[in-house]
């Protein structure tokens, strides 16, 4: 495992993603994606203990899927460091990335981060620079992603492909799981986040998981090109520790194309009550939403195949999304179908929350 850590703005995610896509047998996790359980509890500010426990479970799943290594990016406890007690199944290498304060401030401002988040990142950077954590340091000040990537590659050799399996037994964790599926750009993530946030504001500790973000494995394999077995195993791992954190509700967003894929997830969550809602949108709405995503709409996430892409790529994505929506309609995927045409995120989230009694 290679963990690229440091405050927001130093280039962790960008470099980690480029490194991951260039390796022959690798997995990737942004640590923030396995810690979205809110509100945080006083005994675990920043949720770093929660993230560490989940990452320890995920290591076994990536190894079972055949990954020779796992690339991790994300912030750490700036005073205590990484919770290595949960990572006993991996040979861990840590590289702390840093940047001078004036440039770091410029980068954060360019990302349009809210003032509170920006100042928090700058404080974390100062604590790390002045602290005593004994990790090798890579300075990214004045350097491009490509330049930093070359340095990281020099320190991180290719790892061999592993034989898949055996898979750990999934934990049996009860609770309510609300899963939103649907075609590309139908609005799963934004609507799911709104549903989870409403549950949290109503006083319930609630988790959120994007399936795409917990199953990055390179290269894809023919028998499971969507890596659904890996995603299902990691989802069960995340939910087990979210439940231990106090959550009894989980919102999941992510696509499935066949009933057999749905059953794979249900088999890894045998003690939970899972309700699958399929979001639908017509061709015109999908075209507009894909156009907006191409312009940078929505949250920046790893592996986004639409953000900043040229018109010809977006046109192909639109055709694929329309075809997939039709296929999902024909297969009647999901327990409940929700039409999103001409509706706001808030409208759809309100309907789903009321249907589920949340």
Mean predicted lDDT score pLDDT of the chain: 93
Q: How far is 174 from 240, CA to CA, in rounded Å?
A: 9
Give whole-number Cα distances, 108 to 105, 119, 311, in Å: 5, 9, 28
- Residue among 135, 118, 38 nearest 77 (CA): 135
pLDDT average, residue stretch 65-71? 93
Residue 222: what pLDDT?
Answer: 45
Residue 139 pLDDT > 60: yes
Map out the domains of the chain as residue ranges: 2-155, 175-356
Residue 175 pLDDT > 50: yes
Query: Binning pLDDT at 50, 70 and 90, where does residue 85 land?
Result: very high
* Residue-wise pLDDT tens digits, 210-239: 999 999 998 765 456 569 999 999 999 999
* Residue-wise pLDDT tens digits, 231-282: 999 999 999 999 999 999 999 999 999 999 999 999 999 999 999 999 999 9
CATH topology of domain 2-155: Rossmann fold (3.40.50)
Identify the CATH homologous superfamily for domain 175-356. P-loop containing nucleotide triphosphate hydrolases (3.40.50.300)
Give whole-number Cα distances, 59 to 54, 75, 262, in Å: 9, 18, 23
Residue 221: what pLDDT?
Answer: 53
- Residue among 184, 192, 194, 226 nearest 209 (CA): 192
pLDDT average, residue stretch 114-119? 85
Structure tokens at 18: 């480029």
More confident call, 237 vs 111: 237
């Amino acid at each position: 495992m290679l963990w690229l850590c440091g405050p927001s703005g130093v280039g962790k995610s960008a470099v980690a993603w480029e490194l991951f896509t260039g390796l022959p047998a690798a997995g990737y996790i942004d640590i923030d994606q396995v810690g979205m359980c809110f509100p945080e509890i006083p005994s675990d500010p920043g949720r770093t203990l929660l993230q560490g426990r989940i990452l320890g479970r995920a290591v076994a799943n990536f190894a079972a899927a055949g990954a020779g290594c796992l690339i991790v990016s994300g912030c750490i406890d700036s005073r205590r460091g990484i919770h290595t007690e949960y990572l006993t199944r991996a040979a861990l290498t840590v590289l702390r990335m840093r940047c001078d304060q004036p440039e770091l401030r410029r980068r954060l401002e360019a990302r349009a981060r809210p003032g509170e988040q920006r100042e928090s990142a700058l404080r974390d950077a100062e604590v790390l620079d002045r602290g005593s954590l004994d990790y090798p340091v890579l300075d990214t000040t004045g350097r491009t992603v490509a330049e930093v990537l070359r340095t990281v590659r020099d320190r991180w050799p290719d790892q061999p492909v592993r034989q898949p399996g055996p898979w750990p037994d999934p934990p049996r964790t009860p609770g309510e799981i609300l899963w939103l599926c649907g075609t590309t750009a139908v609005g799963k993530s934004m609507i799911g986040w709104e549903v989870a946030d409403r549950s949290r504001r109503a006083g319930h500790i609630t988790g959120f998981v994007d399936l795409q973000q917990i199953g990055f494995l390179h290269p894809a394999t023919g028998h499971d090109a969507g890596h659904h077995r890996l995603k299902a195993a990691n989802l069960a791992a995340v939910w087990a520790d979210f439940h231990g954190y106090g959550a009894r509700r989980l919102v999941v967003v992510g696509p499935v194309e066949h009933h057999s894929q749905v059953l794979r997830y249900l088999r890894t969550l045998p003690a939970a009550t899972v309700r699958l809602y399929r979001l639908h949108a017509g061709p015109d709405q999908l075209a507009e939403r894909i156009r907006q995503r191409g312009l940078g709409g929505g949250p920046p996430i790893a592996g986004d195949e639409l953000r900043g892409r040229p018109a010809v790529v977006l046109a192909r994505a639109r055709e694929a999304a329309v075809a997939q929506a039709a296929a999902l309609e024909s297969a009647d995927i999901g327990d409940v179908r929700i039409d999103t045409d001409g509706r706001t995120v808030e409208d759809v989230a309100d309907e789903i929350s009321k249907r589920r009694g949340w």
